[in-house]
């Protein structure tokens, strides 16, 4: 993903300008028409694998040299030229040829143009099938680390907010109806818990990415004495893949990452839905920074939470990309099929989307202000303290079902009398419902005390939320 910025775009795909860039021209007398060639070319998408392709080729040629498959000097020459190509690309002195068929053909053609016969030796014992599987895995290992970093940064922002708001009471909801008092810190820790699991899912997926397919060839390895352990080691993989057909045929690692991305995007979409609701005039819990809001072209008064809405909407892409990959793999005959070329665009889009969404979400949250007075005020009037009243009676020995009925009756009495909270009833009125009520009920039903009394592990009590923050910080 970051390679995009360093590789310059060049002209769009058309018929190949140089014969040498088509690796299979020897077999077929007739060339495809320009439009057909462009249809099957993948350079537009796989150009971002360029540095991974070069890394893979460097490891491959050095191994070919060590094994005596090509002369050692030729291996050194090829390795040096590949390093130069990478430098030139990074410095913007060389562009990826947008007319090449794919990134693999581009690099091999370039080597051949620069080094002649030495360039023609690079593909010994290799196929684009194991090459692309390798490049993809190398790229994904890097991309995955970048997303984990974005999650960690986002968690830092969220947990600082949570820490500042462990005593900020607000209504918690079920069915979007006021349910029980919580704190903003508790709510944010709920979000953070999901993101932390997202990060651990990526760590887990990395294990399955960490096998090197190089040496699998087109599907059945090679008759040449390749050293698969050596290339796997030099490219930083834990081990070579077990089976050469599986290596070129499967993309379960891509499906898995697309699912991981879709889960992250689903989490973000829910957090953003909360934000959109909170930003409404009716709630007024959050005031998004002006720089993280947009206006309306017609309604002069508008300040819209577009960023939150768009992050919410981007989830659709990631869900679609996951479906694309599942459908792509379904029913494909073993081993490699050209269908697999469609894998990268979908997953690249999910990775880019999730990375951008995390960055935007973080910026939006870091600059937002919370209206703690509105939040506290919203705890009054919805009888969020009703469960606390019932549990008060349970603590005094009343069976829960009876306590529930008693509290419900008090709520009905309040509504009839136009009272906003259970604490508005006199002790006499309360005692009419149950003799177990004493003066201490009034303190117990204050929202902050309802929250403080919920000190079970995982609960909203400030001391408990501070523990949750510590645990989550420990995972960053
Ligand atoms: N562009 C191809 C892909 O992304 C590379 C492998 C092509 N192999 C082949 N035999 N046509 O899958």
How far CA 125 is from CA of 27, 59, 225, 322, 372, in Å, comes to 19, 13, 9, 33, 66
Q: Please, what are the domains in the chain? A: 2-124 (1.10.275.10), 129-167+184-371 (1.20.200.10), 386-474 (1.10.40.30)
Work out the angle between the directed axes of helices 343-366 and 128-164 (0-180°, nearest 10): 20
Cβ–ligand 1 distance for 219 under 6 Å, the answer no
∠ Cα 277 279 284 (to 5°)? 100
At 213-248, the pLDDT tens digits run 999 999 999 999 999 999 999 999 999 999 999 999
Mutate to test the pocket of ligand 1, among 21, 50, 102, 345 (most ligand atoms within 8 A of CB): 102
Give the pair of three-digit tokens for residue 240.
């070579």
CA distances from 192 to 188, 195, 201, 375 (A): 6, 5, 14, 20
Question: Is 234 close to ligand 1, i.e. is its CB under 6 Å away?
Answer: no
CA-nearest of 240, 54, 224, 220 to 131 is 54
Nearest ligand 1 atom to alpha carbon 340: 12
341 lines ligand 1 (CB under 6 A): yes
Give the residue, out of 49, 104, 105, 341, with the most ligand 1 atoms within 8 A of its beta carbon, to mutate for a pocket test: 341
Q: Which of 175, 291, 297, 426 is catalytic?
A: 175
User: Quick check: pTM over 0.85?
Assistant: yes
The alpha carbon of 104 and the centre of ligand 1 are apart by a number of angstroms equal to 9
Max distance between CA atoms of the chain, in angstroms, equals: 101
Catalytic status, residue 296? yes
Ligand 1 centre distance from Cα of residue 262 (Å):
26
Active site residue 199: no
pLDDT in tens, the chain (476 residues): 444 444 444 444 444 555 446 777 777 777 888 898 899 999 999 999 999 999 999 999 999 999 999 999 999 999 999 999 999 999 999 999 999 999 999 999 999 999 999 999 999 999 999 999 999 999 999 999 999 999 999 999 999 999 999 999 999 999 999 999 999 999 999 999 999 999 999 999 999 999 999 999 999 999 999 999 999 999 999 999 999 999 999 999 999 999 999 999 999 999 999 999 999 999 999 998 788 888 878 878 878 899 999 999 999 999 999 999 999 999 999 999 999 999 999 999 999 999 999 999 999 999 999 999 999 999 999 999 999 999 999 999 999 999 999 999 999 999 999 999 999 999 999 999 999 999 999 999 999 999 999 999 999 999 999 999 999 999 98
Q: Whose CA is nearest to atom 12 of ligand 1?
A: 341
Distance from residue 345's CA to the centre of ligand 1 (Å): 13
Interatomic CA distance for residues 213 and 61, integer angstroms: 15
């Amino acid at each position: 993903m970051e390679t995009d910025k360093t590789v310059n775009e060049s002209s769009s795909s058309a018929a190949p300008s140089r014969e040498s860039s088509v690796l299979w021209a020897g077999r077929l007398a007739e060339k495809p028409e320009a439009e057909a060639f462009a249809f099957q070319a993948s350079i537009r998408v796989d150009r971002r694998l360029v540095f991974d392709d070069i890394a893979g080729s460097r490891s491959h040629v050095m191994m070919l040299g060590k094994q005596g498959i090509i002369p050692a000097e030729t291996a050194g020459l090829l390795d040096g030229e590949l390093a130069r190509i990478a430098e030139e690309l990074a410095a913007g002195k060389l562009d990826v040829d947008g007319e090449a068929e794919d990134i693999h053909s581009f690099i091999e053609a370039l080597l051949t143009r620069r080094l002649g016969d030495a360039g023609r030796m690079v593909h010994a014992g290799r196929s684009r099938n194991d090459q692309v599987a390798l490049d993809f895995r190398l790229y994904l290992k890097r991309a995955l680390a970048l997303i984990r970093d974005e999650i960690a940064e986002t968690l830092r922002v969220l947990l600082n907010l949570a820490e500042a708001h462990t005593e900020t009471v607000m209504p918690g909801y079920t069915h979007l109806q006021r349910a029980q008092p919580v704190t903003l810190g508790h709510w944010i820790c709920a979000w953070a818990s999901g993101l932390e699991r997202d990060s651990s899912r990526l760590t887990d997926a990395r294990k399955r990415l960490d096998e090197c397919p190089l040496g699998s060839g087109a599907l059945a390895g090679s008759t040449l004495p390749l050293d698969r352990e050596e290339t796997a080691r030099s490219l930083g993989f834990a081990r070579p893949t077990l089976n050469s057909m599986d290596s070129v045929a499967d993309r379960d690692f891509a499906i898995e990452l697309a699912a991981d991305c879709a889960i992250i995007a689903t989490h973000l979409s829910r957090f953003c839905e909360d934000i959109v609701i909170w930003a409404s005039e009716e709630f007024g819990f959050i005031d998004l920074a002006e720089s993280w809001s947009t206006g309306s072209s017609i309604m002069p008064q508008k300040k819209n939470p577009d960023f939150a809405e768009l992050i919410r909407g981007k989830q659709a892409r990631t869900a679609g990309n996951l479906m694309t990959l599942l459908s792509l793999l379904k029913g494909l005959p073993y081993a490699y099929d050209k269908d697999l070329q469609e894998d990268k665009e979908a997953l690249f889009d999910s990775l880019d989307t999730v990375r951008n969404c995390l960055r935007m979400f973080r910026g939006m949250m870091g600059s937002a202000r919370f209206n703690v007075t509105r939040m506290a005020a919203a705890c009054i009037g919805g009888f969020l303290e009703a469960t606390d009243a019932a549990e008060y009676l349970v603590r005094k020995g009343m069976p829960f079902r009876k306590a529930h009925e008693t509290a419900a009756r008090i709520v009905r009495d309040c509504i009839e009398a136009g009272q906003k909270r259970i604490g508005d009833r006199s002790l006499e009125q309360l005692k009419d419902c149950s003799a177990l009520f004493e003066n201490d009920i009034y303190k117990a039903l204050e929202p902050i005390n309802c929250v403080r009394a919920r000190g079970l592990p995982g609960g909203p009590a400030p001391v408990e939320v501070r523990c949750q923050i510590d645990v989550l910080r420990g995972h960053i």
